[in-house]
């Protein structure tokens, strides 16, 4: 009986289906297989991409998490949350960082000022980074250097830990600053960098001090008594000392 039913059903199929149907069915199966294949491939790709997407999600979360509720609204343009490439800011990722640059000329007290800034645990002023000629060859190399400094990826003895709250450096006016001043001002405006202009009021004293400094450089006094530096309170108070 069972065989008869089978035969009967086979017979009905053969009878009912039109002649072109096997090709049509095959096409449907092929299309179905292709769709399945594409779907499986896309699932695989998604899985391999999982690492990067989760990173992106983390960044998003970080960004949202760092909404500076505690920071005064007027300070928002100056509070930054850099993400260094060379290390992680860890628990301080949400501490705002301020960017600054000290513009000055030689013998204006900028060294003293920088030492003062660096004496704070959370402040790092990286010195005259543009004294090296390669870094000020052209605008591109200047801006790349600035990017690294403000992304906290610049390492000098002044660099602090991941909890830096202010980062900057000293830029002498004769170290490639004036040549590209327009681009630099625009960069500082875009990135919210504060500029400290350190100016020695008595220009004559500055010039005499420059001469004394060059004397010291060539004389190379080993006993530590420099013409361009004072060594005692009396010398500091003496208006004729440079
Ligand atoms: C800028 O200077 C750097 C070297 O400091 C050099 O590699 C680069 O090619 C220069 N770019 C242009 C546009 O001159
Ligand atoms: C300053 O640094 C210390 C650790 O070095 C950190 O605990 C503190 O939160 C930092 N302060 C600011 C304002 O970032
Ligand atoms: C330091 O050395 C210079 C010459 O080398 C000398 O004129 C000067 O008196 C010395 N100063 C002290 C404090 O020894």
> In this structure, what DSSP letter does residue 89 have?
-
Which of 77, 84, 70 minimizes the C-alpha distance to 98?
77
Cα 137 to Cα 155: distance, rounded to the nearest angstrom: 20
Model pLDDT for residues 104-130, shown as the tens digit of each residue: 999 999 999 999 999 999 999 999 999
Ligand 2 neighbourhood includes 121 CB (under 6 angstroms): yes
Domains of the chain: 80-199 (3.40.50), 201-242 (no CATH)
Strand partners, 195: 101
Q: Which helix (H) or strand (E) holds 29?
A: helix 21-48
CB 102 within 8 A of CB 171: yes
For the ranges 11-20, 104-113, 159-168, 218-227, the one whose mean pLDDT is highest: 104-113
> For residue 46, what pLDDT is reported?
59
Ligand 2 neighbourhood includes 95 CB (under 6 angstroms): yes
CA 207 to ligand 3 centroid distance, Å: 24
> For residue 45, what pLDDT is reported?
60
CA 223 to ligand 3 centroid distance, Å: 6
Nearest ligand to residue 132 Cα: 1
Model pLDDT for residues 38-88, shown as the tens digit of each residue: 777 576 565 555 444 444 444 444 454 565 566 677 888 889 999 999 888
In which band, very low, low, confident or very high, does the pLDDT at 1 lie, cut at 50, 70 and 90? very low
The closest residue, in CA terms, to atom 13 on ligand 2 is 165
Model pLDDT for residues 134-188, shown as the tens digit of each residue: 999 999 999 999 999 999 999 888 887 789 999 999 999 999 999 999 999 999 9
Ligand 2 neighbourhood includes 213 CB (under 6 angstroms): no
Query: Distances from the Cα of 175 to the Cαs of 6, 57, 129, 181, in angstroms?
Result: 95, 42, 9, 11
* Mean per-residue pLDDT over the chain, rounded: 81
If you search the block for the tokens 């004293």, which residue do you land on?
205
Model pLDDT for residues 24-42, shown as the tens digit of each residue: 888 888 887 888 677 775 7
Cα 181 to Cα 185: distance, rounded to the nearest angstrom: 6
Cα 156 to Cα 111: distance, rounded to the nearest angstrom: 15
CB 58 within 8 A of CB 73: no
Nearest ligand to residue 122 Cα: 2
Ligand 3 neighbourhood includes 221 CB (under 6 angstroms): yes
Averaged pLDDT for residues 206-234: 83
The closest residue, in CA terms, to atom 1 on ligand 3 is 223
In which band, very low, low, confident or very high, does the pLDDT at 233 lie, cut at 50, 70 and 90? confident
The closest residue, in CA terms, to atom 8 on ligand 2 is 163
Cα 109 to Cα 132: distance, rounded to the nearest angstrom: 21
> For residue 193, what pLDDT is reported?
96
- Single pTM value for the model: 0.67
Q: Is the pLDDT of residue 12 over 80?
A: no
Q: Give CA 65 to chain center in angstroms.
A: 19
Which of 164, 174, 168 minimizes the C-alpha distance to 193?
168
Which of 154, 82, 148, 96 minimizes the C-alpha distance to 124?
154
> For residue 227, what pLDDT is reported?
81
Vertex 11: Cα angle to 9 and 17 (nearest 5) = 95
Nearest ligand to residue 81 Cα: 2
Q: 100 in helix, strand or coil?
A: strand
> For residue 98, what pLDDT is reported?
95
> In this structure, what DSSP letter does residue 176 have?
T
> For residue 70, what pLDDT is reported?
67
């Amino acid at each position: 009986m069972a065989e008869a039913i089978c035969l009967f059903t086979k017979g009905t199929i053969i009878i009912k289906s039109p002649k072109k149907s096997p090709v049509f069915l095959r096409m449907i199966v092929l299309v179905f297989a292709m769709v399945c294949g594409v779907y499986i491939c896309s699932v695989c790709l998604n899985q391999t991409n999982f690492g990067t997407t989760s990173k992106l999600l983390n960044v998003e979360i970080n960004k949202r998490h760092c909404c500076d509720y505690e920071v005064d609204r007027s300070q928002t343009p100056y509070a930054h949350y850099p993400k260094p490439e060379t290390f992680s800011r860890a628990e301080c990722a949400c501490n705002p960082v301020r960017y600054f640059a000290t513009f000055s000329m030689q013998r204006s007290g900028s060294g003293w000022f920088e030492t003062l800034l660096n004496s704070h645990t959370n402040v790092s002023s990286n010195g005259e980074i543009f004294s090296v000629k390669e870094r000020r060859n052209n605008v591109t190399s200047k801006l790349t250097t600035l990017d690294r400094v403000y992304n906290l990826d610049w390492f000098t003895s002044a660099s602090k830990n991941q909890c830096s709250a202010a980062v900057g450096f000293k830029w002498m006016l004769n170290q490639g600053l004036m040549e590209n001043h327009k681009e630099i001002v625009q960069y500082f405006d875009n990135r919210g960098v504060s500029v400290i202009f350190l100016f020695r009021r008595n220009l004559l004293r500055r010039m005499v001090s420059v001469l004394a400094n060059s004397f010291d450089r060539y004389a190379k006094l080993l006993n530590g008594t420099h013409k361009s530096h004072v060594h005692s309170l009396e010398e500091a108070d003496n208006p004729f000392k440079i």
